Amino acid sequence: LETDYRVKNPKVYHSFSFQTPVGVVGEAGVRKSEEFRTILHKLLDVHKIKTRKTLFVVNSGKIASREVMIPMIKENRIKDFLNTNSADFFPVDLSQYQLVYRNEGVVQQENVKKRKLYVFAVPGDLVQSYEELAASCSLELTALDYVGNSIFQIMHKATGNNVCCSVKLDDNATMITIINQGMVVLQRTVFYGFGEAESIVMDSGLFSKEQYPTAMDILQQTDCLNTNQASPEDVLNAVRAEAVEALR
């Protein structure tokens, strides 16, 4: 999508999606692809998007996150403090990771004021893969964000200080985020997602493999959980019932 960057109330100007070519997304990140570049630039032209400044939102199970309490040190010293004390937060070789954080503000803990941070450990090779993909597509990479942080930013803007829960369904995982008083009180990934319901629809015989985008459009635009929405075709009712059970 095309949006304003670093403004208080960003506006979305255009958006589009397309099927990612096979092999672009892998365990260690993303891979360069001439097919991906060609499709992307064709659709950028179609939607009259001229900017090449890009921000990627990364969804990866390899990004670790922790809620951390630190002393009331100055903002400009936080990064050095985290790097120095990184072994206390993440039991991995952090020479292979980059540490970033979100400042959650000041909290009182046992009558002592502390800074509350959400700290993320991002694999260096994951970052490098996105840098290489951007370069291969002639894009200027301005930043990377983690999907969990992006969800928080949207929820915080939309709900203010209210209690709110977001459930983000992906193929093989579901991210649950609960915020209260403008702060994340819980963010967990459950390794069960939309994939099983998706497979039920594709294995039903109603669609061929070439019709995968059509099947996904139907799943995204139809109230799949409305079991009272009976269809004259028994096969559709059976598929709906199985999909509901998978999501349940």
Give percent above pLDDT 90 in the chain: 38
Look at residue 233 in the predicted model and tell me its pLDDT. 63
Q: Give tens-digit pLDDT for 110-148.
A: 888 999 898 999 999 999 999 999 999 999 999 999 998
Higher pLDDT: 243 or 50? It is 50
Q: Give tens-digit pLDDT for 27-39.
A: 789 999 999 999 9
DSSP secondary structure, the chain, as one string:
-EE-SS-SS--EEE----PPPTTSEETTEE---HHHHHHHHHHHHHTT----EEEEEE--TT-EEEEEEE-S--GGGHHHHHHHTGGGT--S-GGGEEEEEEEEEEEEETTEEEEEEEEEEEEHHHHHHHHHHHHHTT-EEEEEEEHHHHHHHHHHHHHTTS-EEEEEE-SS-EEEEEEETTEEEEEEEES--SHHHHHHHHTTSSS-GGGHHHHHHHHHHS-TT-TT---SSHHHHHHHHHHHHHH-
Q: Give tens-digit pLDDT for 145-203.
A: 999 888 988 888 888 888 999 999 888 888 999 999 888 888 888 888 888 888 888 88
Q: How confident is the model at residue 227 (pLDDT cuts 50, 70, 90)?
A: low
